[in-house]
Structure 1
Amino acid sequence: MAHQQHPEILVNGDIRKAPTNQAFFPITNFHHFHNDANINFQLNRFLIPGLEDMFAEIGRHVENFDDWKNLFFAKAVAFEKEGNTDYAMELYRAAEFFKDPADPNKKMAFEKYLRFFYHSKEGKNLERMSVPYGNNHLHGFRLTPTIPTKGIILIHGGFDSHSEEFYTLGAAMCENGYEVIMFDGPGQGSTLMFEKVPMTHEWEKPVAAVLDYIEAQNVTLIGMSLGGYLAIRAASREKRVQRVIAYDVMLDFFACVTSRRGKVAGYLIKGLVSMRLSFVLNAFAKLMMKRDMYSQWGIAQGMHVMGCKTPYEFFFKLKEYNGYAASVNVAADVLIMAGAEDHFVPLVQFFEQLKLLTAARSVTGRIFTRKEQAQSHCQVGNLGLAAANMISWIEEHSFTTSTNPTE
């Protein structure tokens, strides 16, 4: 098998022309709603087209997470009373996002989101799934095309998402003839909320469980956000994955988390973890959480997702979430995506990731820019462009599979 040693790197221009329905993906652009990068990103992430003024107004009044919860919850309740459950659904999800896991309203808001979501999909080609996983289950759904299927695509999220959140991406791919399986792995969505299964860096295990359940041998795997690492890890060990997309790149999660807190704090965290000074790191983490909204949410969310009791345990587990060793064992076709101004992932990880994929059958890298309104994490602002690139890339590589993917 010939391996591509020089990745194809694409920057700017919608040069991949797969059809995507603008009803699925209206271009929302990336707006400045808030001075805090993470708050601003999440406002853009949950933005409902046509409600830009409302989101801008919310952004002007968010000074802490209580403000976020209360403002979005009030809007969700108002739209629900009006009978607009589509808007209410999205706003309940936004309200739930920054709620503390111990807050009973978090589960209530999430359950409303799910109820409205699945009610809105009744009569469509959506089948809910519950995949056995040890003593628990992975939750998700299957989208079946009305035309003969071109293949199977598995999609999962990362650090803070639910599979239902990516429905439009899956629906666009299904409309183009693909059977799509969207699932919450350990530490994600309904699997975390209802099954209490914490995340694992050994992502080949949940992927194998899904593949066994649907009895598939030749699939495309797409991992979003932290899923950019998880999918690469799974593809390095699960040979039934013949095409893998990191949407976006996430080579080293520990580096992403620590670099976001500034050079001094980053060096201090790395040193305290390497010296295993748990007491000092826990004290420092609590100080950061009092002073910085990003740290307050990120550390609490990380402990919740990974089943950790202390910040030290969370930071120590983070070191397992890197693709340096796994990347060199990926034999599939690979697409690595990146936002040129991603506030989570340093762009240098994009180029480092490409260099490591030495055994891949082919490697393509795509950087999205401000000119395309897709410069942010996971191309929030122009999701349709990201979807078009993925669909075209999958179709270009549909006939380059191994003759025996189980080997």
Structure 2
Amino acid sequence: MRAEKMEFKNGDYSLNSQANFNFQLNRMIMWDGGELADIEEISPLIKDSSSWKQNLISIGDKAISEGRTKEAIAYYRMSEFFMYDGDPDKEKYYTLASDLFYEYYGEYFEDGTVVRYFVPFEDIVLPVMYAKAKGGRKDIILLHGGNDSYFEEFFFPMLYFSENGYDVYLFEGPGQGGVMRKQGKHFIYQWERPVKAILDFFKLDEVTIIGASLGGMLAPRAAALEKRIHRVIAWSVFTNFMDILISTQPMGTRKILKILFKLRMKSVINFVFNLKMKKGDELVKWGLMHGMYAYESRTPYEYLDKMNRYQIMDVASLIDQDMLIIGANRDHFIDYRIVGQEIDALKNVRSLTVRIFTDKENAGAHCNVGNAGLVFNTMINWIEAIKNK
């Protein structure tokens, strides 16, 4: 169903006492098509991953019975978010949400507003949605998500950039959406590999790449090694994934963990994190369970050790393009103040702009979910300023 007018919601709601549940509930409303009234009804009932799944499926079923497909897509998709590897419902509800999405928004594909491609990459294909610039083309954008994204979530951002004069190639890479869930291709830190495949397939050059969340590391990493990228937007402050993962722990715990990693004390580290999961730390549980699934790790130690590869600090000196870093002052995943380390490491960029959005703008949460319109307009203004200078 075609939207009559493209609008991005603006707001920041206190819905759950646990930071990650609260963020994901806001994300569901702001980005995914959920309704505040539905979410407010179930948010007090969500205490853990099991109650998350149960209540999201319940309101998804209710929405379907009432003919509210747009909302059902959001609820079914996000019900899968806290289902862990081995749950037979994980693929079921991902598939259901995806099928409903392409049926509901079918008009966009039927009339050619959006064209779907499948780009060969190693032993799989990368799904790509393409939206052609309206009017004269100002630039070419490659757009992708991060650690837990699916590319349908960026459908309307893609269309918004298109309406403002940009050719947009929205894609999923290894570890994301159906590439992982359907094709079994897990994350790789060498993001330049899937990016190269897309640039080669469409014969693109002089592009702007935008990466959200973990994409704030993946996109700059690709730019460091792929010079057909001329501009980089890191839609999250991102230095080293392992440091970010343990940053939610008290300072004393962080110091001890770093010592244990240096000494490679695997059994102790596994014991510490398994204990935290057993004690009901849902943020730690989700981080580890999703992480071990998405990054093919058998233990917490193996997962965290792999995360050391997901960083821009070791390639920062190779980034010589124009770069915009976007952060958030109330990000529950990432302390925006580490942006100083990133700035210091980016010694050879052509230009560097940093914009930290705040809760006063309803944009202080991770990836600024409360005020997406403001963020997209900031990106557009930056691209045009860089290209016209």
Q: TM-score w.r.t. structure 1 length?
A: 0.90
Give the structure 2 partner of residue 8 of structure 1. none
Asked if structure 1 preserves the Cα contact closer than 8 Å seen for 2:34 and 2:74, the reply is no
SS at match of 1:29: coil
Describe the superposition over 1:334-356 as per-residue Cα deviations: whole angstroms up to 9, x where unpaired: 00011011111112222221222
Q: Quote the offset at 1:375 in angstroms.
A: 0.9
Q: Does 1:24 align with 2:6?
A: yes
Give the structure 2 partner of residue 214 of structure 1. 202
Give the structure 2 partner of residue 241 of structure 1. 229
Instruction: Supply the distance in 1 between the matched residues of 2:60 and 2:34 (Cα, whole angstroms).
Output: 15
Give the structure 2 partner of residue 153 of structure 1. 141
Asked if structure 1 preserves the Cα contact closer than 8 Å seen for 2:134 and 2:165, the reply is yes
Instruction: Supply the distance in 1 between the matched residues of 2:174 and 2:35 (Cα, whole angstroms).
Output: 33
Q: Percent identity?
A: 35
Give the structure 2 partner of residue 144 of structure 1. 132
Farther off after superposition, 121-130 or 164-173:
121-130
Asked if structure 2 preserves the Cα contact closer than 8 Å seen for 1:25 and 1:382, the reply is no
Q: Does 1:171 align with 2:155?
A: no
Q: Quote the offset at 1:147 in angstroms.
A: 2.6
CA 255–24 in structure 1, closer or farther in 2 if over 3 Å, else same:
farther
Q: Quote the offset at 1:133 in angstroms.
A: 1.2
Which residue identity does 2:374 align to in structure 1?
Answer: L
Give the structure 2 partner of residue 10 of structure 1. none
Q: Does 1:65 align with 2:49?
A: yes
SS at match of 1:211: helix
Instruction: Supply the distance in 1 between the matched residues of 2:4 and 2:310 (Cα, whole angstroms).
Output: 35
Q: TM-score w.r.t. structure 2 length?
A: 0.94
Instruction: Supply the distance in 2 between the matched residues of 1:26 and 1:84 (Cα, whole angstroms).
Output: 19
Unaligned runs of at least 5 residues, structure 1: 1-20, 401-407
Which structure has more relative contact order (CA 8 Å, sep 6+)? It is 1
Farther off after superposition, 43-52 or 354-363:
43-52
* Residues 254-273 of structure 1 aligned to structure 2 (within 5 Å): 254-273=242-261
Asked if structure 2 preserves the Cα contact closer than 8 Å seen for 1:33 and 1:40, the reply is yes
Describe the superposition over 1:81-124 as per-residue Cα deviations: whole angstroms up to 9, x where unpaired: 22221111111111111111221211111111111211233232
Quick one: which of 51, 76, 80 aligns to 2:35?
51
Instruction: Supply the distance in 2 between the matched residues of 1:50 and 1:130 (Cα, whole angstroms).
Output: 29
Compute the RMSD of aligned alpha carbons. Answer: 1.7
**Runs of 4+ deviating beyond 4 Å:** none
Give the structure 2 partner of residue 87 of structure 1. 71
Asked if structure 2 preserves the Cα contact closer than 8 Å seen for 1:220 and 1:242, the reply is yes
CA 331–50 in structure 1, closer or farther in 2 if over 3 Å, else same:
closer
SS at match of 2:232: strand
Give the structure 2 partner of residue 305 of structure 1. 294
Asked if structure 2 preserves the Cα contact closer than 8 Å seen for 1:336 and 1:354, the reply is no
CA 157–27 in structure 1, closer or farther in 2 if over 3 Å, else same:
same
Which residue identity does 1:29 align to in structure 2?
Answer: G
Quick one: which of 371, 375, 386 aligns to 1:397?
386
Instruction: Supply the distance in 1 between the matched residues of 2:8 and 2:171 (Cα, whole angstroms).
Output: 24
Q: Quote the offset at 1:325 in angstroms.
A: 2.1
Number of matched pairs? 380
Instruction: Supply the distance in 2 between the matched residues of 1:58 and 1:151 (Cα, whole angstroms).
Output: 43
Asked if structure 1 preserves the Cα contact closer than 8 Å seen for 2:35 and 2:71, the reply is no
Instruction: Supply the distance in 1 between the matched residues of 2:202 and 2:323 (Cα, whole angstroms).
Output: 23
Give the structure 2 partner of residue 384 of structure 1. 373
SS at match of 2:314: helix
